[in-house]
Chains A and B, each alone.
Chain A
Amino acid sequence: MKTLYDKLWEEHHVTQLDSGESLLYIDRHYLHEVTSPQAFEGLIKKNLKPWRLNANIATPDHNVPTTRGNNFNSESITDEISKIQVVELDKNCNKFGIKQFDIESNKQGIVHVIGPELGFTIPGMTIVCGDSHTSTHGALGCLAMGIGTSEVEHVLATQCLKVSKLKNMNVRFEGEVDRHVSSKDIVLYLIRQIGTAGGTGYAIEFSGSYISSISVEGRMTICNMAIEAGAKVGLIAPDKKTIEYVKSKSFLDADTFSQAKEYWKTLKSDDDAKFDKEITIDVSKIKPQVTWGTSPEMVLNYDESIPTVFDTTDENKKNIELARDYMGIEDETKLSDLTFDKVFIGSCTNSRIEDLRQAAEIVKGKTIASNISEAIVVPGSGLVKEQAENEGLDKVFTDAGFIWRDPGCSMCLGMNPDQLKPYERCASTSNRNFEGRQGYLGRTHLMSPLMAAYTAINGTIGDPS
């Protein structure tokens, strides 16, 4: 009768308050430099301490420069305001004794990449972070969601989140995909179908034969973008692949691990579980997806024409008009007619080793197109970077004309120096194509690592096969 979300909810339910809200116990809390300073300040003002120290893991990722090289520390950041934020995280972690993978650590990276990679995200946990892409961790069978800074303070102080229960949605992906279609294409296609508010108020469980067939990293890409479909929680039941993945990263002793494993096997929706909404999508007909506008729901097949105000409903005309204008799209244009200036391969959506391998395969032995002024690859963490270098992927990229960077959020949101200039058009593996997201007046097209690599080489979007 119960869904996986129901089970995780009940498992962590401490009590119901007079207000009708529930207190949910939080197993893991990730922190980064942008949404935590005000929370620590609040904690200090109230004379409180973190409730359970070892629940918290911190790393700086949003602000950090990606051209650090050797002997770089927090004080080396040249943007004075960014430096304050990174140094503030150092100070707060030192003050309270919170474990931090700081800017000098070889394990530093994007918080949603390092969590699973270092074994801190394991199935059945409740996980929060002051970052909407916390939904990523749901790929390992966790109840994980993004929270605001007031809630960061609340979790630090009480180890609980004060919440109301979400509704249940099941999105079943069935079938086999074409060789050049990745999990990024699948999740973009879903957002195109249900819209950026389609999942509002829901926890979405992803299931079906397609989900079983893909890797844990591919599943992370899907859960990562649940929030772009409006759902703050995305989750996938753990299976053999999950357990193998977790085992390869785990710091638990063998006995504890096998005890945990037995429990993890029970983490799935019952056969007769009731969902408030169910969607089934046949993935076999999905082509590579690319966004054309300023909302992740403005998605097309790579070979389609961009909509004009004449092919939409009255209600949507204004949205289309504003997006076309911002994106600099004139007349009747196909996605493949657009000329690109920059390419960004990275972000918590697509900066893991498998993403880099897929992109490198396309790039190998080729050179980036003359219209591409800059193509950067930003690995998601120090460990991803190290692994890629061991495999020689860095060389594949740099030989083709890409720039190989140090880990961080980078051009996904342009809080560090990696930004688009006004009107530059970017092929990006990130998650948001909002106005100004990658830099003032910059134009973002979201796509898979494979299509971004192809665009770097070809100069335009096209058929990657």
Chain B
Amino acid sequence: MKSNSEGLIIDGMVAYLDRDNIDTDQIIPTEYLKSIKKFGYEDYLFDGWRYKDDGKLGVTKEERIIDENFILNQEPYNKSKILLSRDNFGCGSSREHAVWALRDFGIKAVIASSFGDIFYNNSFKNGLLPIKLDKTEIDFLFKQTHQDTLELSIDLQKKEIKVGDKIIFFSVEQHLVDRIIYGLDDIDITLKEKNKILNFEKARAIEKPWVFK
């Protein structure tokens, strides 16, 4: 098992999107789901908000009209590794492309008060850490962004966020964190149980034959 020690601390300037219900269609519009690749989505992240024109798969950032008011187009946020938002981030469509787009842009952690179930699950499979915090803590972090740029340091092992002198703890299941730290492969893990699956399947085929027709 190889440890990815670089991934243990995520720190830097926080980019923020102060709204609820940011759905996966906003994170990456359907047009870009036409790609059959697993990488190369960075230019299309938040496409509808990032540009002032309609994009197409294959059209580069340089050919687009940039909306300078959008936070991810501004220094230093265009290099942020941490994104802060509010309720129900990543709701809607199951598209894993939403996680790929955040990852390809360089985002390593998203902090929000809640997440869409499927997005949350997809994140860990691609090394993106979604952190759930209470609304009061989210409010506190947003207040900081209003006063100044906000720098955070997230420690995956200790499950804590350092904000200046303050420490905010977050909870996330250890096996999910391990997946990010060690880059574990789900299929490899599951195939270790191959015999159990085969036996289960054999029994089910006898007991519920209609399923296998």
Residues of chain A having any CB pair with chain B under 8 Å: 14-15, 17-21, 23, 25, 27, 34-35, 37-38, 41-42, 46, 48, 51-52, 54, 62-63, 81-82, 84-85, 88, 122, 124-125, 130-132, 146-151, 153-154, 157-160, 162, 164, 196-197, 200-201, 227-228, 230-232, 251-252, 256-257, 259-260, 263, 295, 297, 318-319, 322, 413-415, 422, 432, 434-437, 440-441
Contacts and interface: CB of A to CB of B under 8 A. Distances in A.
Given A146-B94, A319-B21, A434-B26, A260 B34 contact: no
24 contacts: A20-B175, A25-B201, A42-B38, A54-B213, A62-B30, A81-B57, A124-B208, A132-B93, A150-B125, A151-B121, A158-B187, A160-B190, A164-B173, A196-B88, A196-B91, A197-B114, A230-B91, A230-B117, A232-B117, A257-B210, A318-B19, A432-B23, A436-B29, A441-B54
Interface in B26-81: 26, 29-31, 33-38, 48, 54, 57-58
Which 6 A-B residue pairs are closest in the complex by CB-CB distance?
A: A19-B175, A37-B36, A148-B96, A148-B122, A440-B54, A146-B94
Q: Which of B29, B117, B209 has the most CB of A within 10 A?
A: B117
Contacts of A130: 94
A127 B91 CA distance: 21
B34 A82 contact: yes
Interface of B: 18-21, 23, 25-26, 29-31, 33-38, 48, 54, 57-58, 87-88, 91-97, 99, 114-118, 121-122, 125-126, 173, 175, 178, 186-187, 189-191, 193, 196-197, 200-201, 204, 208-213
A295 B23 CA distance: 9
Contacts of B57: 81
Contacts of B201: 25, 52, 159
Contacts of B122: 148, 150
A17 B175 CA distance: 10
Contacts of A434: 23, 25-26, 92
A148 B121 contact: yes
B125 A148 contact: yes
Given A85-B34, A159-B197, A196-B88, A230 B21 contact: no
A46 B187 contact: yes
B48 A158 contact: no
B195 to A, nearest CB: 10
A20 B186 contact: no
Contact of A260 (B26, B54, B210): B210
Contacts of A201: 117
Nearest to A415: B30
Given A15-B200, A196-B91, 4 more contacts: A38-B38, A85-B34, A132-B92, A319-B19
A200 B36 contact: no
B125 to A, nearest CB: 4
Contacts of A52: 201, 212
A146 B204 CA distance: 23
A34 B88 CA distance: 24
A86 to B, nearest CB: 10
Contacts of A20: 173, 175
Contacts of B91: 196-197, 230
Contacts of B175: 18-21
Given A38-B37, A146-B118, A436 B204 contact: no
Contacts of B25: 413, 432, 434-437
Q: Which of A63, A85, A150, A263 has the most CB of B within 10 A?
A: A150
A151 B99 CA distance: 14
